[in-house]
Amino acid sequence: MPELPEVEVTKQSLSPMLLGTTISGVHVGKPLRWPLGVDPKTLVGQTIVGVRRRGKYLLFDLDAGLLLLHLGMSGSVSVSQQWPGPLGPYDHFELQTTSCWMRLNDPRRFGAAVFAPSENSPQAHKLLGHLGVEPLEAGFTSDYFAAGLAKRAGAIKQVLLGGDVVVGVGNIYASEALFMAGIRPTRGAKRIGRVRINKLHQAIQTVLVRAIALGGSSLRDFKHTNGEHGLFQANSQVYGREGQACTQCQAPIKRIVQGQRATYFCATCQR
């Protein structure tokens, strides 16, 4: 599943090609998770004046309005300055601009392309309104994080995945950050002491920055998988390593299921 680092890397690669170009054609294929919400023709003639990311959404600021793209479970976006050939069976959304083609390829169709009149409109609010702060932006301070966790009764791993305290810490990254901070994934979020919260705050940022740095190559593999794979996983300390020796203490890594998602941890190093 595309997580924050993959979406950030996608944004970084799309941005220089799309910024300042004008939409000249829109293709909408099979239904995605949510409909576009407007006649595709209304996008034609609009210039892309900004490319941003919020959580796992790609945001394209237009002259009038906002286009939101979500990669769902299996989506990937490609952009090309030369015609990329006929649309494939999984290319369900395409923007043609004055200088390139951008395609959303999404075999499982949990992704979406949605138009919103503005970022404050109900259409955008429905998708973005519940999102917590960005983990790599200034608003994610350790004070903010501690205050958010103090109100949560659930297990810390679940609270991280919930995305309403801090957004974009997906399944792999939550397991890795908790290992780095020495915190057991099942520990109640509000029962973690401040020193350990500070460690976790730092670990989340370290893990995501590292994943973004590796993202260029993980994205390539990513396109061909439906699961949680990629280069980052090959470099993981606990994720996907059940039964293997902990890199710190040699004890076997354990795997449990929390909220239907696999969690990996070291029962010796994480308390």
Catalytic center residues = 2-3, 56, 261
- Residues of this chain that interact with Zn ion (CB under 5 A) are 246, 248-249, 251, 266, 268-269
**86, 167, 206, 233 from 213: Cα distances, Å:** 32, 19, 11, 13
Q: Rounded to the nearest 10 degrees, how much is the dihedral formed by the CA atoms of 73, 77, 83, 89?
A: 0
Write down the least CB distance from residue 265 to Zn ion, Å.
9
Picking from 255, 228, 266, the residue whose alpha carbon sits closest to that of residue 5 is 228
Identify which of residues 10 and 270 has a Cβ nearer to Zn ion in the complex: 270
Write down the least CB distance from residue 181 to Zn ion, Å.
13
Identify which of residues 51 and 181 has a Cβ nearer to Zn ion in the complex: 181
Q: Which residues of 186-209 are buried (b: 16+ CB within 10 A; e: fewer)?
A: bbebeebeeebbebbbebbeebbe
CB-CB contact of 48 with 20 (8 Å) = yes
Identify which of residues 76 and 237 has a Cβ nearer to Zn ion in the complex: 237
Write down the least CB distance from residue 214 to Zn ion, Å.
23
What stretches of the chain show up as alpha helix (H) in DSSP?
A: 4-18, 122-128, 142-150, 156-162, 171-181, 194-222, 231-234
Write down the least CB distance from residue 62 to Zn ion, Å.
50
- The residues, any chain, with a CB within 8 Å of residue 89's CB and separated by 6 or more, are none
Structure tokens at 144: 């903010």
Identify which of residues 74 and 236 has a Cβ nearer to Zn ion in the complex: 236
